[in-house]
A and B are shown apart, each in its own frame.
Chain A
Amino acid sequence: MTEAAVEARGLCKDYLPPLTWGAMIRGRFRRTPVRAIEDLDLTIAAGSLVALMGPNGAGKTTLLKLLAGLLLPTAGVLRVLGRDPERSPREVRQQVGYCITEGRSFFLRLSGRENLRFFGTLAGLHGPVRDRRIADLLEELELADVADRQVLSYSDGMRQRLALARSLLHRPRLLLLDEVSRGLDPRLRSRVHRLVREDLARSQRVTVLWASHQVEEVEALSDRVLAMDRGRLVADGTFREVQPVLDSLFREDRPGRDPR
């Protein structure tokens, strides 16, 4: 039987909206939670490459943050690489790479290499091992030429690749990617696809959960596709099996929703 990298049973996540002035003046301090993940059951086998799709506000980023241990579930059971992220946050984070593609998540006045050196040390690497790993990733992601420039001067695509390099520094067993190919030109996109599919998922048996809106890349890359909508898992299967659901989710006349 294949070992599970992720197991979730009845997983729920609520967000508390900020207090409004009106509520404070009326003395109503109880906030009504907004449900971002609703009763999610999920098992992801180790070494698989799974795409996570759904419209904005479907709960994709919330799910990735729960798996990265950045958020705690409101209810349900969650095990990541056999551990509970709430009880063993350090052990989970040692084996999970969460690719935060928000461009501001770097120290912009430091160079790309200095950023990787800093985050690599926080991830538990140091000395020549860390520096060699950084050099390899910079080379692999075609950032070696700009590595000593301030991140401030990087394009969106460069920051995306730097974010991917950061998430791979400590050789994670579970990689969580959030829109990682956004802003990349077709050649770099295909390079990132090859890295994730061939090197990480196939050769190194890294489990990859990839949130994306790009239907073509999901079709080309993934073993399995999860479709989410309004915090629920609405389809799970191969791309062909899930495609009709995706078509309806991304229909132009469908009303949108953002849980936050």
Chain B
Amino acid sequence: MSQWSLEASRAWAFLRRDFLFRWSYKFGFLYDIGALFSSLIALFFTNRMIAAAPPPSVTAYGTDYFTFALVGVAFLDYMWVSMRSFAQQVRMAQLMGTLEAMLATPTSPFRILCYSALWPYAWTTIRAVLYLALGVLAFGADLGAVNVLSVLVFLAAMIAAFAGIGIASAALTLYLKQADPITAAVGGISFLFGGIVYPVSALPEALQPVAWSLPMTHAVEGLRRAFLSGAPLADLWDHLAMLVLWALLSFLLAAGSLRRVIRVLSREGSFGAY
């Protein structure tokens, strides 16, 4: 068996495990779907309230507020899942007592961590597609100009930029055995300044440089222009370059911190502790 097919089979094992686990909690499964509707309805009524005089910073994208915010919110989950799911999966394995059993296998800790996040990404993708489809079909959002290639490339770059932060955060969780401060800080700042439910130009001028230093701002800007104006990659290279830079830096941080933490815990003997 080749290394690739072995790794594909391991990745599938994690997806299957987490799907079966999630499926076994039936109400939680249904609740996640129901939550999509409530978020859409809130956006829809906000749009009706400001439809008569939409802010110019939104109309600059050639769309209404509902469609503007729909794209931002649909992809906000990718940021949360990238930053939270690695640490959450580690914490859950610590509490459930399955972490040592997984680490006793020849699969490396880095792979265990990466594969553990596959289901959260898959589930987020299902929800994002449902969210956008409902927005278009039930609430009349206009996504006709979408440039699919630009969207996919930006999505991959966004996931890479945030996954590095997420893995570093998981390493800290492994060591501290509790929720870490990285996710809350980066997530909170990104939500406030990342241009998700309002454009960056709506922020005070002094805060706009802060916004443009964040990966979220470039991800949302690129995705929004690819979705709403059909912008090709050639027009979005500056945002893409920032995301790639963030991805490289955060993965360097992640690989270093995870290796260090695994070594320290193996020496201290506290893998099984929670």
Contacts and interface: CB of A to CB of B under 8 A. Distances in A.
B266 A70 contact: yes
Contacts of A119: 101-102, 105
A148 to B, nearest CB: 12
Interface string A62-78: 10010011111010000
24 contacts: A16-B268, A16-B269, A36-B269, A72-B266, A72-B267, A90-B108, A91-B106, A93-B104, A94-B106, A98-B104, A105-B97, A106-B98, A107-B21, A107-B96, A109-B21, A110-B24, A118-B13, A119-B105, A121-B13, A122-B13, A122-B107, A123-B105, A123-B107, A126-B1
Contacts of B17: 107, 110, 114, 118
A105 B102 CA distance: 9
Nearest to A110: B20
Given A107-B21, A121-B9, A124-B6, A71 B106 contact: no
Interface string B102-129: 1111111000100000000000000000
A126 B9 contact: yes
A122 B10 contact: yes
Contacts of A36: 269
B139 interface: no
Given A102-B97, A107-B17, A123 B266 contact: no
Contact of B269 (A62, A106, A110, A114): A62
B contact face: mostly helix, strand, loop, or mixed: helix
Given A106-B98, A119-B105, A122-B107, 15 more contacts: A15-B270, A16-B269, A70-B103, A71-B267, A72-B267, A93-B104, A94-B106, A98-B104, A107-B17, A107-B21, A109-B25, A110-B24, A118-B16, A123-B105, A126-B6
Contacts of A123: 105-107
Interface size classification for chain B = 20 to 34
Contacts of A69: 104
A118 B11 CA distance: 10
A105 B103 CA distance: 11
Nearest to B14: A118
B13 A117 contact: yes
Given A16-B268, A72-B267, A126-B1, A105 B100 contact: yes
A93 B21 CA distance: 27
B263 interface: yes
A166 interface: yes
Interface string A184-209: 00000000000000000000000000
Contact of A109 (B24, B103, B106): B24
Interface residues of A, number: 38
- Which 9 A/B pairs are nearest by Cβ-Cβ distance? A104-B97, A121-B13, A122-B105, A126-B9, A105-B101, A72-B266, A93-B106, A109-B24, A122-B107
Interface string A119-160: 101111011000000000000000000000010000000000
Contacts of B112: 122
A25 B33 CA distance: 47
A100 B106 contact: no
Contacts of A124: 6, 106
Interface of A: 13, 15-16, 36, 62, 65, 68-72, 74, 90-91, 93-94, 98, 100, 102, 104-110, 114, 117-119, 121-124, 126-127, 150, 166
B198 interface: no
A15 B268 contact: yes
B151 to A, nearest CB: 32
Contacts of A150: 24
A104 B94 CA distance: 10
B106 A166 contact: no
A94 B106 CA distance: 5
Contacts of B61: none
A70 B106 contact: no
A62 B268 CA distance: 12
B54 to A, nearest CB: 48
A93 B101 CA distance: 11
Interface string B1-13: 1000110011011
A76 B100 CA distance: 23
B271 interface: yes
A201 to B, nearest CB: 21
A93 B105 contact: yes
Contacts of A15: 268-270
Contact of B21 (A102, A110, A121, A127): A110
Contacts of A65: 269
A118 B96 CA distance: 16
